[in-house]
Amino acid sequence: MGILVQSLLLALWAGLCALDQFGPHLGFRKPLLASVGVGIILGDMTTAIIIGATLELMWLGVNNIGAYVPPDVISGTVVGASIAIMSGANIETAIATAVAVAVPTAMLVQQINMLIMTTNISLVHAADNVALSGDFDKITPLHYLGGLFFFLSRAVPVFIACYLGANTIDAILAAIPAEILTGFNVASKAIPAVGLAMLLTMMMKKNMWMFLILGFVLSAYMGLPTLAVALIGAVVAGLYDLIMTRPAGAAVSNTAGTDEEGEYDL
């Protein structure tokens, strides 16, 4: 499979992942699943999934909140994983390369997404005008046109980056000092912790930190595998739910019944 065909397939995959973000919501916009398509196209599933998992943790707390447009994790994942796999480097260098490429790519496409969303506002107003005129058949093409813009906003940058980047990636990697790649490799192991911390700041409440500490102790100090920690967490969560949802008057009513029975025996 030539580089042109691979780049076209990667662009198509990135565009479909973008449409999934606004359509079926099957999860293909997430780095872990987006990288699977890259692995299938380029024939290196192992490296693709490892890179996808790293980027998934790195961008764990990145979400659309209100009018905020986050860095585009779809294009960042597809381009980063693709160029890393095309470089043919070992897994550590591939991860460092993917992180180094994915972050600026995601930020660049973020600007394109803001432009596309601003442009699509005009389509919304056009649909409103068509609805007022009663010509409802013209609304559907406007929806498809907006979807096409979202598709191209990912497909075009991914195609350009993969097609041009594949021919120059060896020269770029050779020009980058080994110390810098080592730094990116170290950062790729630390950044997932930052992504998890971002997610925790949104999810955690004051009474939930004890569960986080419990999980950390079970994993880090007791050496339990992930499945065992998850099962223990499920049991603890079930017990916590039983305690918190227990009717407040249950204990009082039981105590009152005991007192009455005692008085009756006397």
Query: Is 133 or 176 the better-scoring residue by pLDDT?
Result: 133
pLDDT at 70: 72
DSSP codes, the chain: --HHHHHHHHHHHHHHHHHHHHTT--STTSHHHHHHHHHHHHT-HHHHHHHHHHHHHHTTT----TT-----HHHHHHHHHHHHHHHT--HHHHHHHHHHHHHHHHHHHHHHHHHHHHHHHHHHHHHHHHHHHT-GGGHHHHHHHHHHHHHHHHHHHHHHHHHHHHHHHHHHHHHS-HHHHHHHHHHHHHHHHHHHHHHHHHH--GGGHHHHHHHHIIIIIS---HHHHHHHHHHHHHHHHHHHTS-TTHHHHHHHHHHHHHHHH-
Query: Is 166 or 89 the better-scoring residue by pLDDT?
Result: 89
Query: Is 172 or 114 the better-scoring residue by pLDDT?
Result: 114
Least confident interval from 20-24, 70-74, 191-195: 191-195
Least confident interval from 11-15, 23-27, 176-180: 176-180
- Check whether 253 has a pLDDT greater than 80: no
